[in-house]
A and B are shown apart, each in its own frame.
Chain A
C-alpha cells in the first residue's frame, strides 16, 4: 500500500485526526496544586533524592523567581498561571517495580493503545523503551540486555540514586541551571526522564527510546533527559510524545542534554505529537523545550532529527555546541503547523573548534491559520578554522491564512570558514495537485504525497520504525487542509 493510501486508511480506521486523545482512568497521586519551595521539596522527597539534588533544585527555583518569561519568539498565548497547575502526578503504587508484571495493567493497556508494546517479547526487535507517564517512569524494557553491554538506560530518578557521580558530573553541564526561564523551571521541578550512559568504545546494541505520555489534567510535564556517549561510543535514541484531548492548555517544559566525548556519536530522533488543540485552537500542549548537545570531544558527532506535528505551541531549538576539533553537528527538522498551531523552532550551531562542520535541513509546512517559524543561528568563533555550515530552509504554505517565517542569524568571525544558507518559500502547486488528481489520487492523499516528497530529505534520517509513523503523521496532520 502506498503511504498516502495507508494514511487514508489509518484516518478512516480511527475516524478522527488525533488518535491518541483518550484518557487513562487510573488513580493518581499529586503534589498540592501550585508552585512553591514546598512543591520542590515534595517532588524531591517523592523521588527519595539525596540532599545535593534537593539543593540543586532549590537553587534553580530561587533563580527562576527572578527570571522573566521570554517573549522574543513568534508565539502568542494567554499568560500562564504557574500556580494553577500540578507539578507532580503519578499513578499510585508505581515506583520501584521490579518487572513488567508488577506494572498496573491499565498502564500496559495505555501503551498498547498508543502502539508502544512494553512486553519485551512483543516489542519490536531491537528497541528498548522507557515509558514515562506524567511525572514518573513506569517501565523500562531490555534493561538486562543493555546491562550486558555496559549501557546504562534507566529513569533519571533512578540514576540520581544509583549513579550520582555521573549525574553530578554531567547534569546541567550542557544546559546550565540558569539557561532560560523554562530550563530553570525544569531544573527546579523536573520529575522524571531518561538517563543514558554508553561506555567507552561501546556501540549500543539497540535503539533506545522513551515514550512520553501526559495523562493527568491540569498537570505539567517536566522531564529531563541526559545522554552521555563516552569516547568512541555510539547510541541512537528516539522519543515519542502524546497526550489526551483536553480543552485546557498543558505545559510541557523539558530539558535534554547530550554529551559526546572523543569520537562518540549520538543520534537523537523525536516524533513530537502532543495534542495540538482542536480546529478552533482550543486546548493543546504548550511545548517549551530546551535541547542541546555538546560535542565535547574531538571528532564527535551529534545529529538531531525532529518531526514536530503536535502541540498548540512549539518553542524548541535543538542545538549543537561544536567544541571539539573536527566535530559535526546536524539538524534535520520537519515542522507542521495546522489550524491554530504555532511553531517557533530551529537550531543553533556554535562552531568553536577547528574543522567543525554543521548541516541544517529544515522543512516547515503551514496550513489553516497556523504560524510556523524557523529560527536559527550559525555562529563561527574566531578559532574555528575551516568551519563549514550548509543550511537549507524550505517553507511550504497551504492556503492563504497561514504564515511561514524564516529568521536565520549568520555570524562569522573566521576568514577560513564557509557558511551557506538558502531558503525558499512556495505553495503546493496547482499543477502538481492537478496532476495527481488527474491520475486518480484523491486530494488529501495527493497533499500527503506531495508534502512527504517535500520532507523526504528529513524523513530519510529517521530510524525505520519511526520513519513509517512519521510519514503517516505528516498525512494525518494535514487532513482537509486543501479545498
Chain B
C-alpha cells in the first residue's frame, strides 16, 4: 500500500497553523540553539526541504489493528481528533504542512496485539503517521527507515490510559542520506511507552522525540545506540515533559563514533509545577574511536516542582584501559577484547528492548556496524 496525494483528513486550520510556523522559522540551522550540532539548512543546501511526497509501507497489518490512508477523504473521528496536534516543533510543522500523504493506525480499547506492526518510511520528501492506542491496548511497533536523499517523517503517537507501546526504530547507515524524524508521544494515566532507537547515521540524521507524560503514573523508557563511522552524523534530541505527578522516565543512550563521525545527544527533561513524585533518570555516554570523531552531549533538566527525583549523567571517553588489560591478561587478543568492550558498552542500552526478536535484530545490526569500525 502506498500513499496518494493529500492529507485530506487534516483540518485546514491545523495545516495553516503548521505552514505559518514553518514559514516563520524556516529550515533550522546551527545558529538556532536546538540545532547547534545539526545544521539541516547546510546539509540540504539549495534544494531546501522541497515538497515531494515520501511513502509509507505497512507490509502485514496484524489482525485487530485499524488502518486509514491519510490521502483518503472522510477520515474516521479518531483520525481528525488526534492528527496534527500542534507542538511548536518546526520540522514537525513542516511535515504536517507539506505532506501529501501518510497513514493512521489504531488499536482499539483493551486489545493486545501480539504480532509486531511493521511500519516503513521510504522515498524522498515529507510523510506523516498517526498511531492511536486506546485504553489498555498494547502493541509493538517496529519502524525502519529506508535510506533516501532527504526525508522528513512526522510520527504522532497517542496512548490512552493504561495502554502500552513498545517502539523499536532502526535507521540504517548511509553517507548521503538526510533523514529527519519527529516522534511526538502523548501518554494518558498509567500508559507506558518504551522505545529503542538504533541509528547508524547519515550525512545528517536527526531523531527528535517529544514525550508528554500527561496522566498520573505514565512512564516513558527511552534507550538508543548509535555506531558511526566515516563522516556520518547522528543526532538524538529528546524532550520529556512530566506534566502530571508520579510519572517516570528513563533514558539510556550510548554512542560510538569513529573516523570523522559526529554523535549528538540532546535530552531535556521538564518537570512541570505540581508534578510531584516525578522520577527521571537520564544517561548519555559516548566513546570516541577516531582522532577526528566528535561527541556532543547536552543533558538538560528543567524543574518546577520540588518533590522530585531527577538525575542525569553524561560521559565521553575511550575504552577503559583497566578492563582492556584484564581481558588481555586472560588471553583475549587486543582487537577481540576491544570488540567485546564495545559490545559491552552498548549492551545495556540494547538490553532495554523488551521484544526478544527485535533485540536480536538490533544486536545483529550492531555487530555488522562494529565490524566495519574495528
Contact = CB atoms under 8 A, between A and B. Distances in A.
Interface stretch (A176-184, A191-199, A411-419, A450-458): A411-419
Interface string B297-328: 11111111111111111111110000000000
Interface residues of A, number: 35
Nearest to B268: A407
A72 B36 CA distance: 13
Contacts of A425: 301, 303, 308-311
B315 A399 contact: no
Contact of B318 (A402, A407, A416): A416
A403 B307 contact: no
B299 A415 contact: no
A29 interface: no
A141 interface: no
Interface in A59-110: 72
A382 B292 CA distance: 7
A423 B274 contact: no
A167 interface: no
A17 interface: no
A412 B290 CA distance: 11
Interface string B272-311: 0110100000000010111111111111111111111111
A400 B303 contact: no
A405 B299 contact: no
A72 B289 CA distance: 33
A421 B313 contact: yes
B12 interface: no
Contacts of A426: 308-309
A412 B316 contact: yes
Given A410-B298, A426-B309, A421 B314 contact: yes
B306 A397 contact: yes
Nearest to A391: B314
A417 B317 contact: yes
B32 to A, nearest CB: 11
Nearest to A377: B298
Given A412-B288, A413-B292, A419-B317, A407 B298 contact: yes
A424 B294 contact: no
Of the candidates B273, B291, B304, the one having the most CB atoms from chain A within 10 angstroms of its own CB is: B304
Given A409-B298, A412-B286, A412-B295, A419 B316 contact: yes
B301 A410 contact: no
Contacts of A380: 316
B301 A405 contact: yes
B46 interface: no
Which applies to chain A's interface (DSSP): helix, strand, loop or mixed? strand
A398 B300 CA distance: 20
B292 A403 contact: no
A225 B356 CA distance: 62
Contacts of B77: none
A408 B313 CA distance: 10
A247 B297 CA distance: 42
A420 B285 CA distance: 9
A401 interface: yes
Contacts of A410: 295-298, 314, 316
B301 A423 contact: yes
B312 A406 contact: yes
A421 B317 CA distance: 12
Nearest to A427: B306
A399 to B, nearest CB: 6
Nearest to A415: B288
B357 interface: no
Contact of B310 (A398, A414, A424): A424
A478 to B, nearest CB: 14
Nearest to A74: B302
Contacts of A400: 273-274, 276, 305-307
Given A397-B303, A422-B313, A72 B292 contact: no
A404 interface: yes
Interface in B239-297: 273-274, 276, 286, 288-297
A211 B9 CA distance: 68
A395 interface: yes
Of the candidates B288, B291, B301, B318, the one having the most CB atoms from chain A within 10 angstroms of its own CB is: B301
Contacts of B291: 382, 414-415
A402 to B, nearest CB: 7
Given A382-B292, A403-B302, A423-B311, A417 B316 contact: yes
Contacts of B273: 400-401
A408 B299 contact: yes
B305 to A, nearest CB: 6
Nearest to A425: B310
Of the candidates A382, A410, A414, A415, the one having the most CB atoms from chain B within 10 angstroms of its own CB is: A415
A403 B289 CA distance: 38
Given A395-B303, A419-B316, A413 B294 contact: yes
Contacts of B297: 410, 421
Nearest to A403: B304
A406 B300 contact: yes
B316 A407 contact: no
B306 A423 contact: no
B298 A415 contact: no
A382 B314 CA distance: 20
Contacts of A422: 311-313
A465 B72 CA distance: 76
Of the candidates B273, B289, B293, B302, the one having the most CB atoms from chain A within 10 angstroms of its own CB is: B302
Contacts of B298: 407-410
Given A400-B273, A410-B296, A412-B294, A420 B315 contact: yes
Nearest to A422: B313
Contact of A395 (B276, B296, B301): B301
A400 B313 CA distance: 24
Contact of A406 (B290, B293, B294, B301): B301
Given A405-B301, A413-B292, A421 B307 contact: no
Interface string B146-167: 0000000000000000000000
Contacts of B318: 415-416, 418
A289 to B, nearest CB: 22
Contacts of A72: 33
B288 A414 contact: yes
Contacts of A406: 299-301, 312
Interface string A264-275: 000000000000
Nearest to B318: A415
Given A380-B316, A409-B298, A425-B301, 6 more contacts: A401-B273, A408-B314, A412-B296, A413-B294, A418-B315, A427-B306
15 contacts: A395-B303, A401-B273, A406-B300, A410-B296, A410-B297, A415-B318, A417-B288, A418-B315, A420-B314, A420-B315, A421-B299, A422-B313, A424-B310, A427-B306, A427-B307
